[in-house]
Structure 1
Amino acid sequence: MDVIIQQKTWTTRKLLLLAGVVLVAGLVAASFFSTAGPTKLNVDPERITISEVTKGAFQEFIPIDGTVMPIKTIYLDATEGGTVKSILVEDGAALVPGQPILQLVNSDLQLEMVNRETAVFDLMNNLQNTRNLMQQNRIQQLNQLADVDYQLKEAKRIYELNKTLYEQKVISRQDFNQSQNTYQHQVRKQQLTRQTLRQDSLATRQQINQMQQSVARMQSNLALMRKKMDDLTMKAPVAGRLTSLNAEIGESKARGQRIGQLDMLNGLKVRANIDEYYISRIFPGQQGEFVLNDKRYALSVKKIYTQVAKGLQVDMEFVGTPPADIRRGQTLQVRLALSDQTQAVLVPKGGFNQKTGGNWIFKVNESGTKAYKADIRLGRQNPEYYEVLEGLKPGDKVVTSSYEGYDDMGELVLKNKSE
């Protein structure tokens, strides 16, 4: 008789199928949980820069290049044009006030000088001749006055005598009237002669004064001409060192042409150009410093030039004694302070800020195996540090190199290639 065979519920095939489904589900779950956290990237620590956050003195400053210059420079321009006849000193020589530098010749100026001297001499001769003529004329007039005075005196004597005789009826009336008329005529003649003498004297003085003024003017012009001749010999106006002498014997120099400059030896200054971005933060008295031969020297802004061309130009003077071995034309790396020095949490500058905008940074864990994103807030900066306002504390280590290529990552796994 037939035996009924009962069908098995869990066959080998079903068990294998169930195992396969469970395995696939496990793999999917494992994949999901492994990708649900932050995106990770393996990074070789030797290819990045890890810096430590510190606390210390912070000051805003800008680095600028300054050029050492004399405290004052006097430019030497040709006051009169001419041809270089001789050069009396060498470029770079130390000069004393009034020391000749070079000599020019100008034949036109020399000819004009001769003509003016001749004109002055002619005018002076005319003045002397006029004085002589006027003196002779005055002597003649005085002689005439003396004759008139004598004739008046004689006419008066005769008149008074005839008057007495006429009263005594010794002489006729005709004789008396004649002596009276003669006397009155001599009185009038004396008055006219004296008036003429006074007017001639006044005219003489005026004419002489005018001629003297003309002589004085011509002598003044002659003195000016002599000065122009003296200017053909260029001299040092003050003590200093001659630099940039530009002249050769036989070379023609025009009036006003720059021939050289005189650097005064009583001090030095530093001239620098500053980016006009900082124009509102630069003021007289601002402090700066530079390092020379491992020694720091202080500077102070003395003058700010109002004209802005290719940046803001300033002059700085040394605070205290300048370095003994510093030279004109030397370039100095100056740190110009923009703020006072304060205590702050500092992170070294690096390329990270270009990607993060100062809002976050990769912070390394204590074991140094990972770096994760941390929100921060930065404040002021200088060429060396950023001021950290929030998010970091002294002792923290952060990645400060460029984040190019992994700025979208959530976590960096710091692992050497050899590991």
Structure 2
Amino acid sequence: MENLTSSTPNASNTSSKANSGMAMDKVVETKPSRWKMYLTLTAVVIACVTYYSSQSSFDGKAMTVSGSDISIESVSSGVFEDYIPIRSRVVPLKTVYLDAVEGGRVEKILVDDGTLLKIGQPIVVLSNTQLQLDVMRNEAAVTEQLNNMRTIELSLEQNRLNHKRNLIEIEYEVKKLNRQLTREQSALAAGNLTLSALEQTTDLLDYHNQRKQITLESQKTDALMQEHQLKFLTLSGGRLEQSLEFARENIDNLNMKAPVQGKLSGFDLEIGQSISRGERIGQIDEPSAFKLEASIDEFYLGRVTIGQLASTTHNGETYQLSVSKIYPQIVNGTFRVDLKFEQTQPSNIRRGQAMATKFSLGEPVNTLLIPNGSFYQDTGGHWLFVIDKSTNTASRRNIKLGRKNNQFIEVVTGLTAGEQFISSTYQAYTDIEQIKITDNHY
């Protein structure tokens, strides 16, 4: 009985092991079902890839796209206007800058910024003690030099008068001696005078004649020298007078006045402020006449000339302009031009106002045109996808484009009027030769 009892657990264990082995066999049987699941998922993925590839993939030369994903434009005949759009700014037609001729301290401010000035109207009063002292010293020095010149002129005149006086005395002596010699010759012939006395009178007459000759030569030489000296002194005196006048004007420049009539702007001074010589304190603008100032890309510098035309629109009206001045200096990749209004200017524009301007680079011409689009950046204008409606395809075609503006591009060769092409971006089509278009809407 005990043996039977003890054997029962063994049987039980054997049965458990059998059951466990069966369980293990069942787990092994589930592996094929998992593989089937993996294969099924793989097949689904491949089917999806195949489907989408058939819709929007390509074999290296052709590609299928939906018509709703692209933009289509047409080739047309029209007038091409060769222009570039620029932004211009309203500035006064004429401007006079106010620079301090002499520096100083601001004592009085007589007008405000924005005042309409008249010619000669006082603007600001400056003071400069050092300048005033320098002018006084210069004035004293100039006065002293002028007095010295007057003294020299007086001396020259006195010398001239002395020569004239000496010549008169010599001529008088010669006349007396000539009369005396005539009398003595008669006396000698009558025996009333000795020969020695006659010879003495003759010698004295010769002396005075020679003295007269020397005096005449000296007078002539002195007259020439005096003439040159007087001219030099006259010029020197004039320059000294101008120097004195200039020194006085420097004092007057401390009282700054309006040189022209116009509107004062950029004027911002305070009492007690120090102004340096040459410092700009403001400007006077012509209040009612304006021009436009524009910056243009340096690429167009060689195509811009004086008199070139432009236009701007304001309040629905178009105004013609022309280039009046070119500033060839390149700053940040651009150069400046001034544009003047040809006939009339807008009546309600103000300084600093921005205006959209069309700058003409050539005469309008009749030609084939295509709308400007994003395709140009991808192809450089060397090729396009031209649409064939009969086959619903767009084929790559080499073309040649010319000038362009922000709206149209000039067609040189490769296209005809009425043809259609894809105008949207070509980034995904750079290696494609042909595009199949589905769901076309052209």
- TM value normalised by structure 2: 0.67
Distance 1:283 1:130, change over 3 A: closer
| Equivalent position of 2:436 in the other structure | 410
Q: Work out whether 1:273 is the aligned partner of 2:299.
A: no
| Cα deviation, residue 60, structure 1 | 3.3
| Cα deviation, residue 393, structure 1 | 5.2
| Distance of 2:295 and 2:308 partners within structure 1 | 15
Answer yes or no: is the 8 Å Cα contact 1:120–1:215 preserved in 2.
Answer: no
Deviations 1:213-266, CA, capped at 9 Å, x for gaps: 432331132233233333334344443333223543333333332232333457
| Distance of 1:133 and 1:350 partners within structure 2 | 94
| Equivalent position of 1:234 in the other structure | 256
Query: Identity, % of aligned pairs?
Result: 32
| Distance of 1:277 and 1:211 partners within structure 2 | 62
| Distance of 1:195 and 1:343 partners within structure 2 | 93
| Distance of 2:419 and 2:217 partners within structure 1 | 115
| Equivalent position of 1:319 in the other structure | 342
Give the alignment partner of residue 330 of structure 1, picking from 334, 353, 359: 353
| Distance of 2:139 and 2:152 partners within structure 1 | 20
| Cα deviation, residue 189, structure 1 | 5.5
| Distance of 1:65 and 1:379 partners within structure 2 | 27
Distance 1:153 1:277, change over 3 A: closer
| Cα deviation, residue 93, structure 1 | 3.0
Deviations 1:21-45, CA, capped at 9 Å, x for gaps: xxxxxxx9xx99x9599765567x5
Give the alignment partner of residue 117 of structure 1, picking from 133, 139, 159: 139
Give the alignment partner of residue 253 of structure 1, picking from 256, 271, 275: 275
Indicate the SS of the match to 2:351.
Answer: coil
| Cα deviation, residue 270, structure 1 | 1.8
Distance 1:120 1:372, change over 3 A: same
Answer yes or no: is the 8 Å Cα contact 1:362–1:371 preserved in 2.
Answer: no
Answer yes or no: is the 8 Å Cα contact 1:66–1:334 preserved in 2.
Answer: yes
Answer yes or no: is the 8 Å Cα contact 1:60–1:337 preserved in 2.
Answer: yes
| Cα deviation, residue 287, structure 1 | 2.8
| Equivalent position of 2:36 in the other structure | none
Distance 1:400 1:161, change over 3 A: closer
Distance 1:176 1:406, change over 3 A: closer
Alignment of 1:200-215 (within 5 A): 209-215=231-237
Answer yes or no: is the 8 Å Cα contact 2:387–2:419 preserved in 1.
Answer: no
| Cα deviation, residue 161, structure 1 | 2.9
| Cα deviation, residue 65, structure 1 | 0.9
Distance 1:101 1:167, change over 3 A: same
Q: Which amino acid aligns with 1:104?
A: L
Q: Work out whether 1:282 is the aligned partner of 2:308.
A: no
| Distance of 2:304 and 2:188 partners within structure 1 | 113
| Equivalent position of 2:246 in the other structure | 224
Q: Work out whether 1:101 is the aligned partner of 2:123.
A: yes
Distance 1:223 1:161, change over 3 A: same
| Equivalent position of 2:394 in the other structure | 373
Answer yes or no: is the 8 Å Cα contact 2:106–2:124 preserved in 1.
Answer: yes
Answer yes or no: is the 8 Å Cα contact 1:378–1:387 preserved in 2.
Answer: no
| Equivalent position of 1:12 in the other structure | none
Give the alignment partner of residue 294 of structure 1, picking from 312, 316, 341: 316
Indicate the SS of the match to 1:220.
Answer: helix
Answer yes or no: is the 8 Å Cα contact 2:139–2:244 preserved in 1.
Answer: yes
Please identify which structure carries the higher helix content: 2
| Equivalent position of 2:21 in the other structure | none
Distance 1:143 1:337, change over 3 A: closer
Alignment of 1:16-415 (within 5 A): 40=64, 45=68, 55-129=77-151, 152-184=174-206, 187=209, 209-264=231-286, 267-309=289-331, 310-344=333-367, 346-354=369-377, 359-361=383-385, 372-375=393-396, 377=399, 379-380=401-402, 381-387=404-410, 394=418, 400-402=423-425, 410-413=436-439
| Distance of 1:395 and 1:191 partners within structure 2 | 114
Indicate the SS of the match to 2:345.
Answer: coil
Task: Single out whichever of 250-259 and 324-333 deviates more from structure 2.
Answer: 250-259
Distance 1:223 1:372, change over 3 A: same
Q: Which amino acid aligns with 1:383?
A: N
- TM value normalised by structure 1: 0.70
Q: Where does structure 1 lack aligned partners over 5 or more consecutive residues?
A: 1-27
| Cα deviation, residue 354, structure 1 | 5.0
| Cα deviation, residue 64, structure 1 | 1.0
Deviations 1:347-394, CA, capped at 9 Å, x for gaps: 54444555566644486969xxx9743546473432123456656754
Q: Which amino acid aligns with 1:412?
A: T
| Distance of 1:131 and 1:174 partners within structure 2 | 48
| Distance of 2:385 and 2:125 partners within structure 1 | 72
Deviations 1:296-328, CA, capped at 9 Å, x for gaps: 222223333333332233222223211111222
Q: Where does structure 2 lack aligned partners over 5 or more consecutive residues?
A: 1-46
| Distance of 1:387 and 1:207 partners within structure 2 | 80
Deviations 1:50-84, CA, capped at 9 Å, x for gaps: 66765543333321111122233333333333333
Indicate the SS of the match to 1:323.
Answer: coil
Distance 1:168 1:75, change over 3 A: same
Indicate the SS of the match to 2:328.
Answer: coil
Answer yes or no: is the 8 Å Cα contact 2:109–2:123 preserved in 1.
Answer: yes
Q: Which amino acid aligns with 2:407?
A: E
Q: Which amino acid aligns with 1:328?
A: R
| Distance of 1:39 and 1:187 partners within structure 2 | 130
Q: Which amino acid aligns with 1:253?
A: I
| Distance of 1:356 and 1:200 partners within structure 2 | 94
| Cα deviation, residue 293, structure 1 | 0.9
Task: Single out whichever of 135-144 and 219-228 deviates more from structure 2.
Answer: 135-144
Indicate the SS of the match to 1:306.
Answer: strand
| Cα deviation, residue 174, structure 1 | 4.8
| Distance of 2:380 and 2:168 partners within structure 1 | 116
| Distance of 2:95 and 2:87 partners within structure 1 | 20
| Distance of 2:406 and 2:282 partners within structure 1 | 40
Answer yes or no: is the 8 Å Cα contact 2:384–2:422 preserved in 1.
Answer: no
